[in-house]
A and B are shown apart, each in its own frame.
Chain A
Amino acid sequence: MNAEELKKLNVAQTVDARGTSCPGPLLAAKKAVGEIESGEILEVLSSDEGTKNDIPKWCEKMEHEFLGIIEEDSYFRLFLKKA
């Protein structure tokens, strides 16, 4: 999905992992995804560069659908749909 499509998503929960280093964003995503329902959207905010690769790989492993990323000035917004 492109940035415009991602901005229109109905996000069930946003987890702010900015300021944490690896594996902080993964741990935050893991916890938050346990709090939403299957099919709902989770948004992860991260300032850690490695998260851009880690979250898609994590989604692949956990069978969540990675939807895309929006790059803001100093952080990233990553979107996924819970399996």
Chain B
Amino acid sequence: MSEKLVIIVTNGPDNQEKVTLPFVMATAALTMDVEVTVILQAAGVLIAKKGGCIENVKAPGLMPLKELMNIFLENGGKLLLCTPCVKERGIAENELIEGSTLISAGTVITESLSAKAVLTY
């Protein structure tokens, strides 16, 4: 994979469309052999909680978020989470879905600078 895309998600499950669209884009990019990193910030981290609200996210006209997330992770997508955003919401590290990695601001910057494009939702 020679190209890289970073997608930053700041919306949580309250906005089903805005939390699903990033994963529509991410999986589409993976079909084009683009390396994809999704960074969850603010309420976006809620979708990475095991057995959490992701199960119920199905925006009209879009694939269920859980299905997209599985495809994303199974196909090599990288899922990074803002550490303070996770802690602030009382989510323990062992409550996060497999494939999640906690990061801090520096990683957001280096990931973004190394990408060809950054999308923000």
Question: A residues engaging B (CB < 8 A)?
Answer: 20-24, 26-27, 29-30, 54, 58, 61-62
B28 located at the interface, meaning its Cβ lies under 8 Å from any Cβ of chain A in the complex: yes
Cα distance, A62 to B33, chains bound together (Å): 8
Q: Name which residue of chain B comes closest to A61, CB basis.
A: B32
Across-interface contacts of A21 in B (CB, < 8 A): 61-63
- Quick check: A30 and B31 within 8 Å, CB to CB? yes
Across-interface contacts of A30 in B (CB, < 8 A): 31
Cα distance, A34 to B60, chains bound together (Å): 30
Interface string of B55-76 (1 = CB under 8 A from A): 0000001110000000100000
Cα distance, A82 to B63, chains bound together (Å): 27
Across-interface contacts of B33 in A (CB, < 8 A): 62
Across-interface contacts of A24 in B (CB, < 8 A): 63
Cα distance, A62 to B29, chains bound together (Å): 11
Top 5 nearest A-B pairs (CB, nearest first) are: A30-B31, A23-B28, A26-B31, A61-B32, A23-B27
Question: Of residues 1 to 50 in B, which have CB atoms within 8 Å of A's CB atoms?
Answer: 24, 27-28, 31-33
- Quick check: A22 and B32 within 8 Å, CB to CB? no
Query: Closest CB of chain A to B24's CB: distance in Å?
Result: 6
Across-interface contacts of A27 in B (CB, < 8 A): 27, 31, 71
Q: Name which residue of chain A comes closest to B23, CB basis.
A: A23
A/B interface sample: 27 pairs, CB < 8 A: A20-B63, A21-B61, A21-B62, A21-B63, A22-B24, A22-B28, A22-B62, A23-B24, A23-B27, A23-B28, A23-B31, A23-B63, A24-B63, A26-B27, A26-B28, A26-B31, A27-B27, A27-B31, A27-B71, A29-B31, A30-B31, A54-B28, A58-B31, A58-B32, A61-B32, A62-B32, A62-B33
Cα distance, A69 to B12, chains bound together (Å): 38
